[in-house]
Structure 1
């Protein structure tokens, strides 16, 4: 065991000043600690609302990033968080280890090993935890307290800085004590968090961050099951309206003869069955956000009334002459192509332009390269909680199968597949403390995926497999060509729309299309 040298401290300080983002800072922090303390796994976790969320890790499977550890379900984490100083667990400790089955180089239970946790504090408040695990029992016993104190201080400062930077960047100071019950229920649904680290999800999060601070009307588009409602809730929660209600309306479920009453309200006696005054959804959302889901299903007659409300922020309840002023931000969502609906005369062009002031497209799961293991880890942890199992884990072949499937039902389909597989795995191994989901548990997936060799242990994709036997330049151009082709097809050859989605300059994209040999006629081909 070596002491923490001045050189290591200086190296870390320089690294942190050169880091571009929090993830980079976290990785450099873990690298420096591992140079000082030998360990097989290390993880930095953020403390939020009685649970721990992994932020960075080394030596653990990627799915661990999708886990959320509730303290009262994990006694080791609970003991670390309740301590004011580093906690070492003896090699014969009987408390279950939350990382059982998650060590990257081991598929079985963790053998006898050394485990240590450091609580991280800022302003006398717990903000996170640093955990270290080694397959060599007793290896942490002789580490000087001074070294651990310095490591805790470095990790606390790094995490605290990241927390403050995120708060400043998002410009969202959440006041949870005044969140309305309707908004709170909507936010907590499905975990209230966009899970993923792929480039398209990173771009989506950036779009949300930019749009959230404004009152612009937003149109969220995307296939069924991609998480459009979650994007809407995230937009509201990151806005200055987060303390006010987020009111949800499913336009497809509204009876045509009651749409106006549902949106704008009515007075007693306005129509048969109107036995008392009723506030509409615009009234309920006053000061907050109104989310109109499935906006493409709204009948053409109701569209004109909605347009007036959006233009003037004025509503008129059914049966009343008086007009009410409201202060409502409107977010809409649809899985339809509203451009096509406008051309077909089923959707008003003026309403479409009013709704799509800031369009946000949610990518399908098949385009989210690398996100499937993280999402699977998130859903399998939810399943563990739901089915009261000590630990669920995913076999390497299941990760491969999930990553190779095209997911026409997107994230919603992945969640259902994980839940069904977890239920089958529990029935197959009811007494096991750690239950591994196997390919035969995922019978929803195409049969050809379930016949792949079990020797595969890492997910692959057509884009990645192309690199074998090709130069880096050839592989890069292949990836660029396929990505641009996919987006061009999606936008029917529209270069401007393609450039916006790819976050690139239109002129640069045009030159790249020419260099890659992509021809744009009535059809797109090489």
Structure 2
């Protein structure tokens, strides 16, 4: 007796509902079953997140698709799927642009999707997201059974709900007392505030887990990481995960302030407090009262201001410049730095008591080079932003461009990648005679330098020349190598030590002996 195709696809998924599977594995099986039921070139599961749809799982699409957030207002086909409660098939000659144009893998120059089918998913009678199916053959879905797809969508919604329930229970079991209030019951909620934090790597998942752990507490957090890793995004996620999420998040870049204005910016001043103080000013602490104050580049704060900041952190009392009375503020402080503050303390440039007060919970943001294929997901995010900005139907990465991105070392981290994609998109567009509908970025548009070859031994100086004794020559070479590494890393001792293959403490001792400290 022949089993109906829908039953063949549904039986394994029903069986999975009672199994303890990771969410990504559930979603992978879901899309695999969908492609068996309705053969096509690509499928995707997207979650509704405010005004956009966020891909949770894909099959047959370019890896960078997972990093793209599709604004519903910019993608009329996705909007049409959400507007109807039943499946929708778009005619092959439909003029509406397809969000996946150029993203289906393995089809060379055949870039535009010609047949598109999709349906909304509902959880507890509320729209949760969509399932999409795409094919390059314009007649692939001509005989598709839309009722069968609607039945599959019901089980897909049950699969999603099961994944969310298991994930919520697992997180509650880990930290019931600490995190009970902070867990979101909304279907499909990401870690609070982490919607702009793209990545699937182990290093990125560890960071998100730490944000969940400390976000709901009142602990002061010190975020540290290299320039361009996204420390401000982490601060936003921490604020969004806290009980203060409905209150202001106020940011201050300490490196951008002249020394004579630091105290006014932080604590405010009264009229006439100093020359030019023509009106009263509320400081950042007052503006953040009840919420969170994010102090970026805290290592740049002058010592005098550090002492006053410490007093506010200890007692919540501050005094505006020129004022006679103190005022109380209720502010959670999150600070960030790309400096080694422990080293700054030893050098006398940062107060030890403030360092320990800020670093109640240190949070390290990993550099992009440690995040593996996350670079493609982040590239997808920036490609989608530039596609909309440039008014293109599609903006994609060629295979050699993907390989180049994965091979690059990313000294400038996520910020470097963002700027690189923007430049490459303009270069690719400028190289066309007429404005194309879909633009492909290849490795030449990225203009990334190839990986550096292994270092060749430093040639020995001509022995006939007066080079002095061997110890002096070695010291001179070490001094030059350390100085160059410090220059390349912005005088970040930890980064310089990694580059030179040394322990940081050993590097600092060597530098001191060589007169570099």
The answer as to whether partners of 1:220 and 1:359 remain within 8 angstroms in 2 is yes
Larger radius of gyration: 2
Asked whether the 8 Å contact 1:90–1:138 carries over to 2, the reply is no
Alpha-carbon distance in 2 for matches of 1:18, 1:357: 40
- Report the Cα distance in structure 2 between the residues aligned to 1:283 and 1:346, rounded to whole angstroms: 27
Please tell me whether residue 433 in structure 1 is matched to residue 445 in structure 2.
no
Map of 1:394 onto structure 2:
397
Report the equivalent of 1:73.
Answer: 74
Please state how far the C-alpha of 1:266 moved relative to its aligned partner. 1.8
Comparing 126-135 and 341-350, the one that deviates more:
126-135
What displacement does 1:53 show?
Answer: 1.3
Aligned length: 445
Whether 1:284 and 2:296 are equivalent positions in the alignment is no
Matches within 5 A, 1:106-505: 106-110=107-111, 113-160=114-161, 171=182, 193-429=196-432, 430-443=434-447, 445-446=448-449, 492=504
Runs (4+) off by over 4 Å? 4-8, 110-113, 160-170, 172-175, 485-491
Offset, 1:104 = 1.2
* CA gap 1:114/1:273 in 2 versus in 1, 3 angstroms: closer
Note the residue ranges of structure 2 that are not aligned, 5 or more in a row.
172-178, 187-192, 453-496, 507-517
Residue by residue, what CA displacement relative to the aligned partner does 1:145-189 show, whole Å, maximum 9, x if unpaired? 4422221111223335556777885826699xxxxxxxxxxx8xx
User: Which range moved further: 255-264 or 215-224?
Assistant: 255-264
Q: TM-score, normalised by structure 2?
A: 0.79
Distance 1:159 1:329, change over 3 A: same
CA separation of 1:328/1:161 partners in 2, compared to 1, >3 Å: closer, same or farther? farther
**C-alpha separation between the residues in 1 aligned to 2:212 and 2:108?**
39
Q: Which segment drifts farther, 38-47 or 333-342?
A: 38-47
Judging changes above 3 Å, is the alpha-carbon distance between structure 1 residues 61 and 167 closer, same or farther for their aligned structure 2 residues?
A: same
Which residue number corresponds to residue 51 of structure 2? 50
Q: Report the CA distance shift for 1:90/1:240 in structure 2 as closer, same or farther (over 3 A).
A: same
- Scaled by the length of structure 1, the TM-score of the pair is 0.78
Q: Distance in 1 between matches of 2:261 and 2:138?
A: 69
Task: Return the alpha-carbon distance in structure 2 between the equivalents of residues 224 and 74 of structure 1.
Answer: 34
CA contact (8 A) 2:115 2:138 kept: yes
Closer/same/farther in 2, CA of residues 309 and 7 from structure 1, 3 Å limit: same
Please state how far the C-alpha of 1:325 moved relative to its aligned partner: 1.6
Tell whether the 8 Å contact from 1:219 to 1:359 is kept in structure 2 after alignment: yes
Provide closer, same or farther for how the CA distance between residues 361 and 60 of structure 1 changes in structure 2, counting only shifts above 3 A: same
**Structure 2 counterpart SS, 1:258:** helix
Unaligned runs of 5+ in 1: 176-186, 450-484, 495-526
How far apart are the structure 2 equivalents of 1:174 and 1:321? 48
Q: CA RMSD in A?
A: 2.9
